[in-house]
Amino acid sequence: MVPGRAKRGFVRRSARSVLSGRLSAAFAAVGLAVVLGGVPAQAESQVDHPVPSTGCGKSTVPGASETRTIVSGGITRSYLVHVPENYRKFEPTPVVLSFHGHKRTSEYQEELSGFSATDAIAVYPQGLVGTDGETAWQGAPYSAAADDVLFTGDLLDQLERDFCVAPKRIYAAGKSNGGGFTGVLACRMSDRIAAFAPVSGAFYPQGGECEPERSAPILDFHGTDDQTIPYPGNPEKGLPPIPEWLAGWADRNDCDETPIVRDEGNGVQVSEWVGCDRRSNVVHYRIEGLGHDWPSTQPNPDSDQPAVIDATPIIMQFFAEHRLR
């Protein structure tokens, strides 16, 4: 929030401005794709609100991970889904979407983030091969010219048809480019996803303007020794300093201007912006000496060196505290 400015309150875009934006997208798709680095405009059919689950009562195999496919935007997409051991087919269950980083896979992300060990339906979408020949997500300069926001919405529709999903308890997390895409989803799908947790996020400007329909709870992790996505930012690549990105969300969520900062010890500093609209707090874990890693006290695919905290249980606790209203 700009110093000295009064809290602006969270204001939804008017119906007229939304209609205007949709018409502009419809008539200027090519130009918009250039501006956003090849990212197409959001599809008109995108659902941005909780949808009742019709999958309750359908049988599935608890405790198993399975690769499935779906057609979105005319492209066959894949995702890995894990149903928890304690899943009950008539009991609405939270969903956690976990997005892999640049060059990675859904299987890598499952092992890295560990959400399959939780009580949520854990879903690991697979990114498409981008302009550099490696997998990536929308919002990065090297991503494919595909609408991954549409894919996410279509995927949620499918999950709600196949499983007994709690529609107000859907969450998104991601690592690196997947963390950056999690930020894109916070800007574009805050009426359908309840909370967001980027880890070592790559917040490129190609993600586009951020005008969420509602305030979005944000939990962010970043290491001070991240050489891939530097904590102070990278002006040449358009990457903002992490504190600047966080302040932007504190402003959007109409939080108090100054965060509450606490020292957790072992080089971990936690900043929390409170007083936010709809209790959509912004929380940041700054981890001294951590590289471009998913924090874990055990060796993981990112690093053989254990970190001082485990990000996944902290994320799950944060998610448990937020649901769509």
Residue at 2 is within a domain: no
pLDDT exceeding 90 applies to what percent of the chain? 83
Let me know if residue 12 belongs to a domain: no
Query: How many CB atoms are closer than 10 A to CB 183?
Result: 26
Q: Is the pLDDT of residue 320 over 60?
A: yes
Q: Hey, what are 5's tokens?
A: 């400015």
Instruction: Determine which of 6-10, 103-107, 296-300 has the lowest per-residue pLDDT on average.
Output: 6-10
Q: What is the arithmetic mean of pLDDT over 235-263?
A: 97
**pLDDT tens digits along 263-285:** 999 999 999 999 999 999 999 99
pLDDT at 33: 38
Burial status of residue 224 (CB atoms within 10 A of its CB: 0-12, 13-18, 19 or more): middle
The per-residue pLDDT for 67 is 98
Q: At what angle do helices 148-162 and 177-188 cross, to 10 degrees?
A: 80
Q: Is the pLDDT of residue 289 over 50?
A: yes
Does a structural domain hold residue 295?
Answer: yes
From 195, 170, 196, 192, select the one nearest 183 (Cα to Cα): 196
Q: How many domains does the chain have?
A: 1
Identify whether 14 is part of a domain: no
pLDDT higher than 70, residue 100: yes
pLDDT band at 131 (very low <50, low <70, confident <90, very high): very high
Q: Identify the CA nearest to 100 among candidates 109, 92, 91, 113.
A: 109
Q: What is the mean pLDDT of the chain?
A: 88
Structural domain containing residue 85: 45-320
- Tokens coding 17: 């401005």
Is pLDDT at 12 greater than 60 in this prediction?
A: no
In a domain, 15, yes or no: no
- E strand map for the chain: 65-72, 75-82, 93-99, 121-125, 128-129, 135-136, 165-175, 195-199, 218-223, 260-265, 268-273, 282-287
Which pTM value belongs to this model?
0.86
pLDDT in tens, 181-235: 999 999 999 999 999 999 999 999 999 999 999 999 999 999 999 999 999 999 9
Residue 81 inside a domain? The answer is yes
pLDDT band for position 50 (50/70/90)? confident
Q: Read off the pLDDT band of 301 (50, 70, 90).
A: very high
Query: Do residues 292 and 200 lie in contact, with contact meaning Cβ atoms separated by under 8 Å?
Result: yes
CATH number of the structural domain spanning residue 53: 3.40.50.1820
191 in any annotated domain: yes
Can you give the pLDDT at residue 22?
Answer: 37
Tell me if 126 is assigned to some domain: yes
pLDDT level of residue 1 (50, 70, 90 thresholds): very low
What confidence tens digit (pLDDT) does each residue in 140-184 have?
Answer: 999 999 999 999 999 999 999 999 999 999 999 999 999 999 999
